[in-house]
Structure 1
């Protein structure tokens, strides 16, 4: 393994306080050649974080410090490791303009970025689908069924691929099957293959890449990557670049789930297909 395109940082409000230097030294020990720090971007102006802990995104006042610290580390380690400054951007329905405005302001400072769906909307209320299995159970109750939750999630992933978020729109879709995080406790009777294939076809058409995320493989109620290997194989058939991401929120999370990925798929660099 040479790359990790999805790493969080001490700026994550729901992560660890492990330092950038600790992440970097661990990455070097693992033999990485390139990594992307993709911290959760500040949530859009006017969006109220629906999670119980209100900790889904980086505090906006810390964003410039995050970028400045990584710029310094890029130079310090330039002969040992390619470090990309990135963000994980939330696609939130009805906040497309605010997201575009944010990207227009800060996108030029980024080397890499990921576009992910964490929030579902029902009527005028938003819900974070991956906060906990207890919250997911509440979402199922409100939406009416597990199948309806999955249906809404894949609809939003498709919309995220289609969305016009300006010239700095992320070119990689994050953990496209995150809705399966609690599948062992809340199984879904529908495979949603047609929806998934439609998303993959669109990703291919838009010349985007896919986060091949190892975090799901270590989640006890998921036990598979995001996406699972059969979907990753379908993506590879469409020549969609797959970028391994540990989705590490602590140093010990680097390389997590990598041994559960399909060995037949050639992985891509975060910043080069």
Structure 2
């Protein structure tokens, strides 16, 4: 199987680090023109340079825009030109006592984790449908299915994202455009390292802290380790390709067997 995205433009939100950066790299390796996105010129510029160092022949573009706002989303789409592949990766998370989550915090999670994806999809889907080809992927989480007690605001926002994906897939029915969710399991990123240390002893070395976190807080994982970002990117590259033409409206799991169910 050969994944070839030559001639396609892929936009990846929140791609200056972590899972988003790995996805941008994977799509660039497959030949796509990749638009790297973050909120600041500095972080976007640094990410593009890192990718250029790894992939000297890659076709890359950086756009600094806050896509959790209407103006930022419009700025990103306008700067990107024709968008063939949209990966809504932007997301925030953090441990909060459920009884301490304010209305403002609930709104912030929905603005960033749900509405950013909905508005960008709304902006690019008509063009994809008119051209008869396109791919939209929303990066969800195992927390969409197994709501974590320590961050229900995050889990609920990701549950909503599954519905957003299914709804837009129906809107694009019969057009050659696919819309899917990717359910990422516990993944090793700098942000997750900080999250792990919110829940386990900060004096523990990282490898020991990771094992303790998985043992205490993610015991259902069949991998019994954190997933590497590249493993998420592999699924995204496949879904972005012509090979996945019959996969739409789905919630595909890259969760290390964390969700204890045959179906999502």
Same fold (TM over 0.5): no
TM-score range, shorter chain: 0.3 to 0.5
